[in-house]
Chain A
Amino acid sequence: MDKELEHNFVALLEEHQNIVHKVCRLYTNHREAHNDLFQEITIQLWKAYPKFRGDAKFSTWMYRVGLNTAITLYRKSKRTINTYELETFQFKIKAEEYDDTEEQQLKLLYAAVHQLNDIEKALVFLYLEEKDYREISETLGISEVNARVKMNRIKNKLRTILNP
């Protein structure tokens, strides 16, 4: 039974692992930290998995565990260094798809998003993942109205950074 549980879990996570990668991408800024957080989220998912009931979508459940781990449970390991390797590692922006202004804007945008605080990042992340405000509010535990208000403020903040 345990083996079966383990097998199911690994298969599901392997399939949906991009969600975890995307959380790591927002909350860390170099490869080692990315891997470290990925591992911690995986452990938390596995620990919570026996209580996972099929009534929620596995991916929805993953968003919650992933964000909770990144925002609350995860403790940066000592080896984490605060270097900005974003352009080399995480945010490869393919030049051919975007014109120069857009490429420049994207770079600035990613850098700006990285400057947001943990909660703002969570909002941006769920927004980028096209979650509606109901889900955003339920994941964070704030009201829908406040989630909306905050999201608008973040948009303004980003706009100011881009067009000073």
Chain B
Amino acid sequence: MDELELLKKHWKSQDTQYPKVSAGDIYKMILKRSSSIVKWIFIISLLEFGLWAALTFLLKDSKNAQEFDKLDSDYLIIPLTVLGYVILAYFFVLFYKNYRRISVTDSAKVLMENILRTRKTVRNYVFFNLALMAVTFMAALYIEFDQNKAIISRAQTAAANGETFMFYAKTILLVACVLAVLAAVLLFFYWLIYGLLLRKLNRNYKELRKLDI
């Protein structure tokens, strides 16, 4: 006898063996909150959008930024800020549309693809933001070195003392530290998302893809 036929026979004979969940218990269950990965992906994505928005605001309000505003920087910073918001709006709409498309009644493959697509939108947003942030940073540094009298005089003093190298090295180190902290926060998010939530999904998606080759 075919092994699976034996299993099938037994499988069918087991129908009466299952625990019986009462209607009352089902009522209670549907009041409970889901703990599906989609819910967590949604929350984490909102946090990511929120984090970037908050970061922009915080940087804007800091003392340094206020000092910076006194410099002639509008020609660069305003377009970059506007671009930042346009990108945020674009990705958020895209993210929400993709999120709404996730349906548990699709085929397994389509469901997985839609979840992955939603995540990809957020990831792309983060990449764009990182690029934008790098550009803004460089623009800001350029303006500071070009216009900030304190920095110019410090650079000149350093040059006079023959410490030009040290001066630039320190500046670069500071910028690198800030970027490292940001990168650490991002890595934490990615560890959360890819390490914990999407590991199973990715594995199963690969398996399905493998079947269709």
> Of B4, B23, B105, which contacts A127 at CB under 8 A?
B4
> Of B19, B38, B107, which contacts A73 at CB under 8 A?
B38
How many chain A residues have a CB neighbour from B under 8 Å?
66
> Of B11, B36, B112, B207, which contacts A44 at CB under 8 A?
B36
Q: Does A10 contact B (CB under 8 A)?
A: yes
Chain B minimum-CB-distance residue to A108 = B3
User: Is the interface on chain B under 10, 10 to 19, 20 to 34, or 35 or more residues?
Assistant: 35 or more
A67 touches B108 (CB 8 A): yes
A128 touches B11 (CB 8 A): yes
Q: Does B130 contact A (CB under 8 A)?
A: no
A22 contact set on B, CB distance < 8 A: 11, 18
> Of A47, A61, A64, A92, which contacts B17 at CB under 8 A?
A92
A71 contact set on B, CB distance < 8 A: 108, 204
A119 touches B204 (CB 8 A): yes
| Binary interface encoding of chain B residues 1-39 relative to chain A, with 1 for a CB under 8 A from any of its CBs, else 0 | 011101110111101011111110011011011111110
A142 touches B36 (CB 8 A): no
A109 shortest CB reach to chain B, Å: 5
B117 shortest CB reach to chain A, Å: 14
Q: Complex: how many Å from CA A22 to CA B7?
A: 13
Q: How would you classify the secondary structure of chain A's contact residues: helix, strand, loop or mixed?
A: helix
> Of A9, A68, A159, which contacts B3 at CB under 8 A?
A159
Q: Complex: how many Å from CA A106 to CA B10?
A: 8
Using A39-B29, A47-B104, A141-B108 as known contacts, say yes or no to A75 and B3 having CB atoms under 8 A apart.
Answer: no
Q: Does A114 contact B (CB under 8 A)?
A: no
A75 touches B27 (CB 8 A): no
Interface residues of A in 130-164 (CB under 8 A from B): 130, 138-143, 146-147, 149-150, 155, 158-159, 162
A139 touches B207 (CB 8 A): no
Q: Does B201 contact A (CB under 8 A)?
A: yes
Interface residues of B in 175-213 (CB under 8 A from A): 197, 200-201, 203-204, 207-208, 211-212
> Of A14, A42, A46, A72, which contacts B37 at CB under 8 A?
A72
A52 contact set on B, CB distance < 8 A: 105
A97 contact set on B, CB distance < 8 A: 13
Q: Does A13 contact B (CB under 8 A)?
A: yes
B104 contact set on A, CB distance < 8 A: 44, 47-48, 64-65, 68-69, 73
> Of A48, A93, A109, which contacts B105 at CB under 8 A?
A48
A91 shortest CB reach to chain B, Å: 9
| Binary interface encoding of chain A residues 104-131 relative to chain B, with 1 for a CB under 8 A from any of its CBs, else 0 | 0110011001000111001010011010
> Of B22, B107, B115, which contacts A138 at CB under 8 A?
B107
Q: Complex: how many Å from CA A72 to CA B211?
A: 17
Q: Does A85 contact B (CB under 8 A)?
A: no
A69 touches B3 (CB 8 A): no
Q: Complex: how many Å from CA A96 to CA B160?
A: 98
Chain A minimum-CB-distance residue to B110 = A141
Using A13-B26, A75-B197 as known contacts, say yes or no to A93 and B10 having CB atoms under 8 A apart.
Answer: yes
B21 shortest CB reach to chain A, Å: 6
5 interchain residue pairs of minimum CB distance: A141-B109, A141-B107, A73-B36, A21-B18, A46-B30
Q: List 25 A-B contacts (CB under 8 A).
A: A10-B23, A14-B21, A43-B30, A43-B32, A47-B34, A47-B104, A68-B108, A72-B108, A72-B115, A72-B204, A73-B36, A75-B36, A75-B200, A98-B10, A105-B6, A110-B7, A117-B203, A117-B204, A118-B204, A128-B12, A139-B107, A141-B109, A143-B212, A146-B212, A155-B3
